[in-house]
Amino acid sequence: MNSSILHITNGDSTTNYLKKLHFSGDFITWREMLCEGKTTTDVGSETFWKNRFDFLKTSYNVSKKKFIDFTLKEYRSLCNKKESKEIVLWFEHDLFCQINMIAVISWLKKYRKGYHISLVCSGKVKGTNKLKGLGELTENQIQEHYQNRVDLTQDDIEYADYIWQLYCSDSPLRLETIYKYNPMSPFKYLADALEAHLLRFPTIKNGLNQIENTILKTANTQEFSSKHQLVGQLLKTQTNYGFGDIQYEHQIDQLKKLFTSFDPVKLSRKGKKVLENQMNFYSEIRNENSYLGGAKKYSFLFNNQSKKLLQITS
| pLDDT at 182 > cutoff 80 | no
State the Cα–Cα distance between residues 64 and 94, nearest whole angstrom.
28
Helix-strand-coil split of the chain, %, nearest 5: 45, 15, 35
Amino acid, single-letter form, for residue 13? S
Average pLDDT over residues 209-214: 98
DSSP letters of 211-266?
HHHHHHHHHHHS--SSHHHHHHHHHHH--S----HHHHHHHHHHTGGGEEEETTEE
Quickly state the pLDDT bin for 314 (edges 50, 70, 90): low
Whether 196 contacts 99, CB under 8 Å? no
The answer for residues whose C-beta is within 8 angstroms of residue 236's C-beta and 6 or more apart is none
Residue 311 dihedral angles phi and psi, to the nearest 5°: -90, 135
Whether 230 contacts 218, CB under 8 Å? yes
Beta pairing partners, 91 = 121
Whether 301 contacts 203, CB under 8 Å? yes
Q: Within its chain, how far is the Cα of 183 from the centroid? A: 22
pLDDT single digits (tens) 123-173:
988 888 889 999 999 999 999 999 999 999 999 999 999 999 999 999 999
Name which residue leads in pLDDT, 108 or 182: 108
The answer for residues whose C-beta is within 8 angstroms of residue 183's C-beta and 6 or more apart is none
| pLDDT at 1 > cutoff 50 | no
* Overall pTM surpassing 0.75 (yes/no): yes
The verdict on whether omega for the bond into residue 183 sits within 30 degrees of 0, i.e. cis, is no
Quickly state the pLDDT bin for 48 (edges 50, 70, 90): very high
State the Cα–Cα distance between residues 294 and 37, nearest whole angstrom.
8
Average pLDDT over residues 203-211: 97
How many other CB atoms are there within 10 angstroms of residue 29's CB atom?
21
39 Ramachandran zone, left/alpha/beta (phi>0; psi -120 to 50) = beta
| pLDDT at 3 > cutoff 60 | no
Instruction: Tell me the angle at which helices 154-167 and 95-111 cross, rounded to the nearest 10 degrees.
Output: 120
Note the pLDDT of residue 63.
98
Beta pairing partners, 311 = 300
Quickly state the pLDDT bin for 2 (edges 50, 70, 90): very low
157-188 exposure pattern, b = at least 16 Cβ within 10 A, e = fewer: bebbbebbebbbeebbbebbeebeebeeebbe
Of the candidate ranges 121-135, 188-202, 258-272, 297-311, the one whose mean pLDDT is the lowest: 121-135
CATH tag, 5-183: 3.40.1360.10
Whether 127 contacts 182, CB under 8 Å? no
Note the pLDDT of residue 239.
85
Amino acid, single-letter form, for residue 186? P
